[in-house]
Amino acid sequence: MNVASEAAIATKIRRMQQRVRWGHPEFARQGIDPCRLAIEGDPAGPEAFSFLVLGDSGSGRRRRHNPQRQVAEQLLAHGADARFLLHTGDVVYLVGSSEQYPENFIRPYREWIVGGEDWRTLRYDRLVFRVPFLAVAGNHDYYDLPLPLALLSGLSAPSRRLLGSWIELDVGWHGSFVGQAWSRAFLDVLAAVPEPRLAEHLRRTRSASVNGRRCLLYRPGAFTRLPNRYYVARWAGVDVFALDSNTFNAPLSAGADRDGDGPAAVLARRRELESRHAGLLRSLADARPADDDLLDDRLVKAEELEEQIRDIDKRLASGAAARAGQPPPLDREQLDWFTQALVASWRDPAARGRLLVLHHPPVVTEASKWDQGQTLAVRHQLRNALDRAAAALGERPAGRPLLDLAFAGHAHCLEALRVGATGHGDAHIPWVICGGSGYSLRRQRPEGPVLREGPPGVERELARSHLFLGRSGRGSELRRSYSALRVDVAAGSPLRLTLTPLVAERAQGQWRTYRLPPFAP
């Protein structure tokens, strides 16, 4: 069964807008950009620097060997050089609850947090980061827990602990309340500021100025939050755009599956997946496998099946809405903002490069995500936004892609891809999927590293994968390669990047940590 529920896109947008007082007249009165973040100490000029990337990290289920902490220790070895950390989403599992932050976020990353040596005393909504922690929300950060399951989870917690981690759902009494926990952990929640104090709060916190408009100043070592669920930050002339892909990932089709069949075939596939999932759960309940690796493989397969069922449900709901004449839900305001901000960055002589981070990848070869309806929807919506930017800009210097590098999570792996000559604004953009920083890893699809799109017989190459780290091998050869990433930015312009994968690999009951050779994206 799917243990989580998910609010509608319109509800997510409305709740997030309420939390940051979106459109409040005080922003206009003070000339504040609500989506801009400045970082204290920004050198402004094109200096060299580095930053770190992680994602899909927040699980406490595997407490016995804690891969999340293994990756965190890899990051710490590079922490002295990092100007900021990017998190690609799914900060905690399974349902983004505030209950999960102490064990699943504060404890593993305690060295990055002021007072982290006494991590048990820290409040998740009052954390002070030693280095700017730039996060985007993942789908699990928005998930909630249906009341009957929440009651069952709370009442059964002692017995689940006694039975062992294999049956640990990693949920408590409640979920995220439509992203509320993530918001309180990372956003400047203006809804908590009394109206009489709002103007002074904005004057105090929006003390930086970029392009003639005031904006929020991020001060490492002081209590600082992000301005909005989507935003842009700059360091040393590099603009980092952060998007909330949870509000533009609604599947587009009326239910066609990967072979072009209609809703009836999709329903049949759903029944097949449900049957396989039920059989897998029965095998786990009837006889727990003695081999922990075999057990882990089965649990991961059960998770994959749940995700596929959830994605099919979303595709069928989109199809039903389309037949009723309802347009698919879409966060057009965010996508329009991104297009306009990207064009402005290209026209700004102080900006030497552009990066993007969001949760759902538009291209990926991980077996459970590559052809999901949400993947295809994000590809379509992001491509449209990039097409509009490309049309506004015209020819670019030396044929540079619109983005120098883009990051995503959601797929539980580390993967490097490059989009081909699509004829669209997404052409030649290099992508890194950084979603293997602690939760269950996935395999690469058996179809191989080359993604194609288009009608059968006239398909063209969409993207090609050059690196994939995740789950590989079986039995005694099973390897689980958890990962994060170091990114080095060279001085000067145009932008030159070097990527170094940081790996914590578990095989045959032992950990091995290493770095892969650096490479250009």
Residue 256 lies in a domain: no
Of 180-184, 395-399, 512-516, the poorest mean pLDDT is in 395-399
Same domain, 267 and 243: no
Last residue of a domain, one of 271, 299, 322: 322
Residue 37, CB-side half-sphere exposure with 13 Å CA sphere: 28
Residue 344 lies in a domain: yes
Same domain, 246 and 267: no
Same domain, 271 and 420: no
The CATH number of the domain where 20 resides is what? 3.60.21.10
44 pLDDT exceeds 60?
A: yes
395 — pLDDT class (breaks 50, 70, 90): confident
Contact 342, 232 (CB under 8 A): no
Q: 331 CB contacts (<8 Å, ≥6 apart)?
A: 9, 13, 244, 247, 248
Same domain, 308 and 390: no
Closest CA to 53 of 414, 496, 441: 414
Residue 177 lies in a domain: yes
Same domain, 283 and 364: no
Give me the number of domains the chain comprises: 2
Same domain, 278 and 369: no
Encode pLDDT of 129-183 as tens digits.
999 999 999 999 999 987 544 444 444 444 333 334 434 456 667 899 999 999 9
Encode pLDDT of 279-325 as tens digits.
877 776 665 555 666 677 777 788 888 888 888 888 887 777 777 77
Q: Residue 306's domain spans which residues?
A: 263-322
Same domain, 291 and 367: no
Last residue of a domain, one of 295, 322, 349: 322
Mean pLDDT of 321-342: 89
Q: What are phi and psi of 33, to 5 degrees?
A: -85, 115
Contact 483, 71 (CB under 8 A): yes
Burial class (CB in 10 A: 0-12, 13-18, 19+), 402: buried
Encode pLDDT of 54-97 as tens digits.
999 987 555 567 899 999 999 999 988 899 999 999 999 889 99
DSSP codes of every residue in 392-445? HH-S-GGG--S-SEEEE-SSSSEEEEEE---SSTTTT-EEEEE--SSS---PBP
515 pLDDT exceeds 60?
A: yes
Residue 494 lies in a domain: yes
Last residue of a domain, one of 296, 322, 348: 322
Same domain, 236 and 286: no
Of 97-111, 300-314, 466-480, the poorest mean pLDDT is in 300-314
DSSP codes of every residue in 188-219? --GGGS-HHHHHHHHHHH--EEETTEEEEEE-
Same domain, 239 and 308: no
Residue 255 lies in a domain: no
Residue 41 lies in a domain: yes
Residue 107 lies in a domain: yes
Same domain, 313 and 344: no
Same domain, 290 and 411: no
Q: 447 CB contacts (<8 Å, ≥6 apart)?
A: 365, 370
Contact 172, 100 (CB under 8 A): yes
Of 50-54, 266-270, 461-465, 486-490, the poorest mean pLDDT is in 266-270
Cα–Cα dist 90/311, whole Å = 17
How is the chain split among helix, strand and coil, in percent rounded to 5?
Answer: 40, 20, 40
Same domain, 141 and 237: yes
Residue 161 lies in a domain: yes
